[in-house]
A and B are shown apart, each in its own frame.
Chain A
Amino acid sequence: MSDAPLRDSAVQPSPTAPRVQSIDVVLRRLPWGRIGMPAVLVAMAVFFGTINPNFWSVTNLTNVSRQMSILALISIGQTFAILSAGIDLSVGSLLALVSVACAQGMLAFGLAGGIAIGVLAGCLAGLVNGVLIAKARIPAFIATLGMLVAARGLALTLSGGLPIAGLPHEFLFIGAGYLGPFPLPSVIAAVAFVIAYLLLSRTRFGRYVYAMGSNEEAAVLSGVNVVKYKILVYVVSGMFAGIAGVVLTSRVISGQPTLGEVQELYSIAAVVIGGGKITGGVGGIGRTLMGVLVLGMLSNGLNLIQVSSYVQNIVVGAIIIIAVYIDLARERRR
């Protein structure tokens, strides 16, 4: 954790110190660990809003929050995986598998049936990931890489490669509907954030996720059922991918086997931009939220100020690296 607050209390102005501190001293003494990311977000928002005032319009803010919801949901799952010193590369492909399963389920069993089958498909794929990792002891990177390829193949096989149309129109409500002034996908993502936060900070499962990520051996020695909780981590990740897949399917009102390509990498990016450590043990749901906000605001804002989509990729790539570099630099100074 940051040591900034301590240093803050130590800077009581002594009688001999000049009354007006120079601006760079003030800047240096701010608790950047806590306000760094929000400050970056505010700066970005001000920048985009100045160039294109439409950025601040209600339409656009609803727009961004809706666009971010899918990335938010899979990044929440990714946070669990990475915190436990694992990784889930399959979440992008799972969006496609869930989409196809959800659409076909919906055509066969109706609205509720389809949604349930979609989320279940995500959980099931997560369970397979978890068993492979925890029981068969296949490294998470490899196991979920296998699932990444296989789930896409399964989605294409089930659908014959074609989109599945003809879903009931009421299903649109999930992806395009509103709860009061808030788009439903954003509400779903917000609720998911709260639940994930409580899971990680208030439950035994959450504490064990951190424990496994910091030092798995120590966790085993202190009697944590690592196999069980590891499996649970990937089921949780699969479940959030399942929810994301259902929302995305509703947004495109069809089952699509090609959805979600490279999304797994963006979810990893969201976790590390927020300050989560790729080797596990450090991070949290709040930090991931910051990462998601940065990525979502960037892609929307850069579109609105008409930066080429190719240049956007360069910017996002640079930000991933810079964010992690700053984290490492801060760590070294401690």
Chain B
Amino acid sequence: MNRRSILQTMLASTIVAAGFKVMPATSAAGDDYPRPPKPAKQYTIGVLLPQLSNPHFVGQAYGYIDEAEKLGVKVIMFDAGGYQYLDRQISQLEDLIASKVDAIIIVAVNGPGTADAVDRAVTAGIAVINCNVMTGSEKIVTRVRSDDEIIGQMQADFMGQALKGDGKVVMLRGAPGTSWAESRGNAFKKRLVEKFPKVSVVGEQYSQSTPADGLKLMEDFLQTFPQIDGAYNGADTTAIGAAQAVLAAGRAGKVTITATDFQVDTEKFIRDGVMSATVAQQTVIIGRWGVRAATNYLEKRDVPKALWTPLLLVNAANIANLDISTLRAPAGWKPPIG
């Protein structure tokens, strides 16, 4: 383990140890990569998102747009429409190159698949910032993300404790070929083996990251395995479907469902006790930091090679008094998709 992981693990366990205390009330919750001064020139930044039908990316879109407004930056935003549309994201990236934007922020639909197109953008003289979901390209300015391994570990810790160290778990891993599905799932399994050897993973599947896919997958898991004590979810999109499947099977509360992120339905299911916990990424902060990093780079300031955004474990204990301004876009806000 390298230094940042230890540091983040410590940070994460502090949050866990503190009984999931609310983070400081100002929206600055862990927002420790400061906003640079407004540049004299108006830059244009292209933003490529994988799946705007997922509220996680709406929160992030808000971060990009709001931060850009504050820095006088113009944003051109594209949505690939799902992790399966690699060819579309590449076309969008090429169209941004042709539009001669100053910088591109990419949330990659696929690691290896986007590598060459990103390399070409860099060759064309465009700075590329990689946020949230990783591209295979090494030529990017920086990577802005929460630590996916910690997300997996936090879910494993919660699951292990909730099951009192013994039980059978299924995994809804998320979209195949994405860095998050890989790292979170692998870290979850590894942590279980290390800390809770009697908790076993009986089934695991990749699927597209939508509630419909999660519902179908969980229904099938429930048919396949007579005993399921826990369900891990790489993203809360599938967890929402899984929660519905568990509800319909009359097993609500008997299956510990853990997830990542904090969209409105996830909040509702945790409040109702159908879902047990979720590791919330500060999506708005990811967006803000992406634009800040791009601006700093364009203004010839140093940008660290990696920027780790903070995480927050949400469960029944702390859900009542939570500051959601860094987790979600304001209610009713719609991304100006272009």
A residues with CB within 8 A of B = 52, 54-55, 57, 59-60, 63, 66-67, 70, 161-163, 165, 172, 175-176, 248, 251-254, 256-261, 263, 299-300, 303-304, 306-310
Contact A163 B111 (CB under 8 A): yes
Interface residues of B in 164-216 (CB under 8 A from A): 176-177, 206
Contact B95 A63 (CB under 8 A): yes
Instruction: Indicate with 1 or 0, residue by residue over B62-89, a CB within 8 angstroms of chain A CB atoms.
Output: 0000000000000010110101111100
Contact A254 B78 (CB under 8 A): no
Contact B97 A258 (CB under 8 A): no
Closest to B206 in A: A161
Contact A261 B85 (CB under 8 A): yes
B120 within 8 A of partner (CB): yes
How many B residues touch the partner, as a band? 20 to 34
Which of B110, B120, B338 is within 8 Å of A256, CB to CB?
A: B110
Contact B177 A162 (CB under 8 A): yes
Contact A252 B112 (CB under 8 A): yes
B residues with CB within 8 A of A = 76, 78-79, 81, 83-87, 90-92, 94-95, 97-100, 110-117, 120, 124, 136, 176-177, 206, 337-338
Kindly name the residue among B79, B92, B95 whose own CB sees the greatest number of chain A CB atoms within 10 A: B95
- A60 and B87 CA atoms in complex are apart in Å by 17
Contact B337 A176 (CB under 8 A): no
Contact B90 A251 (CB under 8 A): yes
Which of B81, B92, B116 is within 8 Å of A251, CB to CB?
A: B116
Contact A63 B84 (CB under 8 A): no
Contact B99 A52 (CB under 8 A): yes
Closest Cβ of chain A to B182, distance in Å, is 8
Contact A253 B78 (CB under 8 A): no
Contact A306 B176 (CB under 8 A): no
Contact B176 A162 (CB under 8 A): yes
Contact A304 B176 (CB under 8 A): no
A261 contact set on B, CB distance < 8 A: 84-85
Contact B79 A176 (CB under 8 A): no
Closest Cβ of chain A to B57, distance in Å, is 14
Known: A59-B97, A163-B176, A308-B338. A254 touches B112 (CB 8 A): yes
16 further A-B pairs in the complex, CB-CB below 8 A; given A254-B110, A307-B338: A54-B98, A55-B98, A59-B98, A63-B95, A63-B98, A163-B112, A165-B111, A175-B116, A256-B86, A256-B110, A258-B177, A261-B84, A303-B91, A309-B78, A309-B81, A309-B337
- A57 and B100 CA atoms in complex are apart in Å by 10
Closest Cβ of chain B to A79, distance in Å, is 21
Closest to B335 in A: A308
A52 contact set on B, CB distance < 8 A: 99
Closest Cβ of chain B to A23, distance in Å, is 36
Kindly name the residue among A52, A165, A252 whose own CB sees the greatest number of chain B CB atoms within 10 A: A252
B95 contact set on A, CB distance < 8 A: 60, 63, 300, 303-304
B116 contact set on A, CB distance < 8 A: 172, 175-176, 251-253
B176 contact set on A, CB distance < 8 A: 161-163, 257-258
B81 contact set on A, CB distance < 8 A: 309
Closest Cβ of chain B to A248, distance in Å, is 7
A306 contact set on B, CB distance < 8 A: 76, 338
Contact A57 B136 (CB under 8 A): no
Contact B112 A308 (CB under 8 A): no
- A308 and B100 CA atoms in complex are apart in Å by 18
- A175 and B113 CA atoms in complex are apart in Å by 12
Contact B113 A256 (CB under 8 A): yes
Closest to B116 in A: A253
Closest to B338 in A: A306
- A307 and B77 CA atoms in complex are apart in Å by 10
Closest to A70 in B: B87
Closest Cβ of chain A to B84, distance in Å, is 4
Contact A299 B91 (CB under 8 A): yes
Contact A176 B78 (CB under 8 A): no
A-B contact pairs, 24 of them (CB 8 A): A54-B98, A54-B99, A54-B100, A59-B98, A165-B136, A172-B116, A251-B87, A252-B110, A252-B113, A252-B114, A253-B112, A253-B113, A254-B110, A257-B176, A258-B176, A261-B85, A300-B91, A300-B98, A303-B91, A303-B95, A304-B99, A306-B76, A308-B338, A309-B92
Contact A248 B337 (CB under 8 A): no
Closest Cβ of chain B to A169, distance in Å, is 10
Kindly name the residue among A161, A257, A263, A309 whose own CB sees the greatest number of chain B CB atoms within 10 A: A309
B92 contact set on A, CB distance < 8 A: 303, 309
- A253 and B91 CA atoms in complex are apart in Å by 15
A55 contact set on B, CB distance < 8 A: 98
Closest Cβ of chain A to B170, distance in Å, is 16
Kindly name the residue among A257, A258, A306, A310 whose own CB sees the greatest number of chain B CB atoms within 10 A: A258
Closest Cβ of chain B to A252, distance in Å, is 4
Kindly name the residue among B87, B90, B97, B117 whose own CB sees the greatest number of chain A CB atoms within 10 A: B87
Closest to B79 in A: A309
A176 contact set on B, CB distance < 8 A: 116, 120
A57 contact set on B, CB distance < 8 A: 98
Closest to A67 in B: B91
- A263 and B91 CA atoms in complex are apart in Å by 14
A308 contact set on B, CB distance < 8 A: 337-338
Which of B78, B83, B86, B94 is within 8 Å of A66, CB to CB?
A: B94
